[in-house]
Amino acid sequence: MSTFEQLKTEAQRIADVKYAAAVLNWDMEINMPANGVEARSRQLATLSGIAFEMGTSEKFSNLLQAAKDDASLDALQKRNVELLWSDFQKAKKFSQEFVEEMSMTVSQTFAAWEHAKKANDFSLYAPQLEKMIALKRKQAEIIGYEKHPYDALLDDYEPGMTAAVLDEYFNTVRSGLKPLLEKIKAQPQVDNSCLHQHFDRQQQWDYSIAILKQMGYDFGAGRQDISTHPFTTNFAATDVRVTTRINENDMTDCLFSAIHEGGHALYEQGLLTGNYGLPLGEAASLSVHESQSRLWENNVGRALPFWKYNFEIAQKTFPAQFSAISQHTLYKAINRVEPSFIRTQADELTYHFHIMIRFDIEKALMEGTLNVTDLKNYWNEQYQKYLGITPADDATGILQDVHWSHGLLGYFPTYSLGSAYAAQYYRQAEQDIPGLNDLIAKGDNAPLLTWLREKIHVHGRFYNSQDLCEKVTGEKLNFNHFLKYAEDKYSGIYGF
């Protein structure tokens, strides 16, 4: 067996343990009874410790070194080794005790968040969240950073990204979106009352399944379930699971959660199975991952071509609600621009401000200028400042997101970056695929999925976000593509 094959075998064994833990995490959010938290937290901590021990062992180190010295490796093998070596050097900075402590804290903090969310009471979550923030600060110190502790966390999700670069990015977002939002605000508001009726749970579920199949999601390699906060999880390219949620008074919650998570899942299902356990079998970054979900949700699912095909299906599924309205009425309704409290339900323009607020909060928490005890009030103040609204309760405010309970600080900025990448990728797809929008208007999404598979999915982590974008579109991330897309779309919807 070659040096690379030996390394690959060991890397896959480590992945097996990590994905076994991921299965337990999925079960904890979908099926586990409430009293199982303590035992499940222990089980996850044990598996995390085992995976860490394997991934930082002398055996793995020796295999990596041998592969690094092997001149016979091809370009793909060399890139896998480079990335594995980088991950190894980072992991070696942590102790097994810290890894197990983080795993235990994540399980406990998630349970505290879920309890607080149901009780609509941030105070039930705050003490455990304080422990998580303290642990994340410790993590940043262990990793090390040059200018800001937040930079150390960003690197987990968006390699090379810094707080300073994000400050500049969000300044561009603010200056670019503000004039467009002012134009929209000056026009008569779109009527979306057709969306706020009673929609049967089973009908919504069946419709979301049909749309996932239309997108190309392979149910032979996945499934959909219900969760408090929609998410996607994967254990291999052949087992990628999504969740949605159902609001019987708004069918878009279930529908667009399914489309969004379906976009994530298509990326995971498109990774090469031969790279299981290796960096080239993983997504390029969280912003690229988010570009896939936002592309399907917004550039496809909220676009007119999609509804030219799906409007009649929607009418047949929900005849009492939609039989008396037009296709254009529904299209305009699902694209209504209006400040709102819930990030996952926000329109695609004000959505960026939801992310900016979270970025500002995370950065302040990491530098110690904002305490968890002041978090709720600060959150409400920022929503009033940027969106002109103040949450009436904790569930629609500070408790709406699950991310911090999982220790995912540094994750949120990738949502905004992903939307910008999505617009740029879709613009390129329109140029590369003749009649793309006409195909989608006929219910044929296969050419787009094939394009995404060939241009993005198959590369795994071979390229970083910016290099991948440049390879696909000919330039690095350019927010002007999103602005052009938004201006064209919303001038038609709002008539300016």
Divide the 496 residues of the chain into consecutive groups of 10 and give the mean pLDDT of each group: 96 98 94 93 92 96 97 97 96 92 93 96 98 97 95 93 95 94 96 96 97 98 94 97 96 96 98 97 97 98 98 96 96 97 93 97 97 97 95 96 95 96 98 98 98 98 96 96 97 96
Domains contained in the chain, number: 2
3-class SS at 64? helix
Q: At which of 122, 149, 181 does a domain end?
A: 122
- Residue 40 inside a domain? The answer is yes
Which DSSP symbol is given to 480? H
- Residue 146 inside a domain? The answer is no
3-class SS at 239? strand
Q: At which of 122, 148, 180 does a domain end?
A: 122
Which helix (H) or strand (E) covers residue 234, if one does? strand 232-236
Closest CA to 375 of 130, 170, 108: 130
Q: Are residues 273 and 417 in the same domain?
A: yes
- Residue 83 inside a domain? The answer is yes
Q: Which of 261, 268, 282, 362 is catalytic?
A: 261
Residue-wise DSSP of 139-157: HHHHH--SS-HHHHHHHHH
Closest CA to 138 of 103, 94, 180: 94
**Residue 128, amino acid:** Q
Query: Domain limits at 233?
Result: 163-494
Cα–Cα distance measured from residue 178 to residue 162, given in angstroms and rounded to the nearest whole number? 24
Cα–Cα distance measured from residue 488 to residue 215, given in angstroms and rounded to the nearest whole number? 24
Beta strand 239-244 with 224-226 is: parallel
**Active-site residue flag, 261:** yes
- Residue 149 inside a domain? The answer is no
pLDDT at 351: 96
b/e string for 36-64 if b means 16 or more Cβ within 10 A? Answer: ebeebbebbbebbbbbbebbbeeebeebb
pTM (predicted TM-score): 0.92
Longest CA span, the chain: 70
Q: Are residues 430 and 359 in the same domain?
A: yes
Q: 150 and 367 in contact (C-beta within 8 Å)? A: yes
Q: Are residues 174 and 106 in the same domain?
A: no
pLDDT at 404: 97
Q: 436 and 448 in contact (C-beta within 8 Å)? A: yes
* Neighbouring-strand partners of residue 225: 243
Q: Are residues 115 and 44 in the same domain?
A: yes
Q: 436 and 161 in contact (C-beta within 8 Å)? A: no
Walk across the sheet containing 232-236 and list its strands.
Answer: 224-226, 239-244, 232-236
Question: Virtual CA dihedral for 436, 438, 216, 344, nearest 10 degrees?
Answer: 90
Cα–Cα distance measured from residue 390 to residue 256, given in angstroms and rounded to the nearest whole number? 25
- Residue 175 inside a domain? The answer is yes
pLDDT at 142: 96
pLDDT at 327: 97
Q: At which of 71, 97, 122 does a domain end?
A: 122
pLDDT at 89: 94
Q: Are residues 285 and 171 in the same domain?
A: yes
Which helix (H) or strand (E) covers residue 423, if one does? helix 413-432
Helices and strands in the chain: count of H runs, count of E runs: 21, 3
**Residue 338, amino acid:** E
Phi and psi, residue 43, nearest 5°: -60, -45
Q: Are residues 309 and 441 in the same domain?
A: yes
Q: How far is CA 333 from CA 192, 200, 322, 396, in A?
A: 4, 19, 12, 22
pLDDT at 228: 83
**CATH no. for residue 226?**
1.10.1370.30
Angle of the 163-185 helix axis to the 413-432 helix axis, nearest 10: 70
Which DSSP symbol is given to 300? I
- Residue 235 inside a domain? The answer is yes
pLDDT at 42: 92
b/e string for 348-376 if b means 16 or more Cβ within 10 A? Answer: bbbbbbbbbbbbbbbbbbbeeebebeebb
Q: 154 and 409 in contact (C-beta within 8 Å)? A: no
Q: 398 and 122 in contact (C-beta within 8 Å)? A: yes
Q: Are residues 110 and 180 in the same domain?
A: no
Cα–Cα distance measured from residue 287 to residue 418, given in angstroms and rounded to the nearest whole number? 4
pLDDT at 334: 97
**Residue 238 is encoded by which pair of tokens?**
């052949």
Q: Are residues 286 and 401 in the same domain?
A: yes
pLDDT at 1: 86
- Residue 156 inside a domain? The answer is no
Which DSSP symbol is given to 298? I
Give me Rg for the CA atoms of the chain.
23
Alpha helical stretches, state H, 125-200: 126-143, 149-157, 163-185
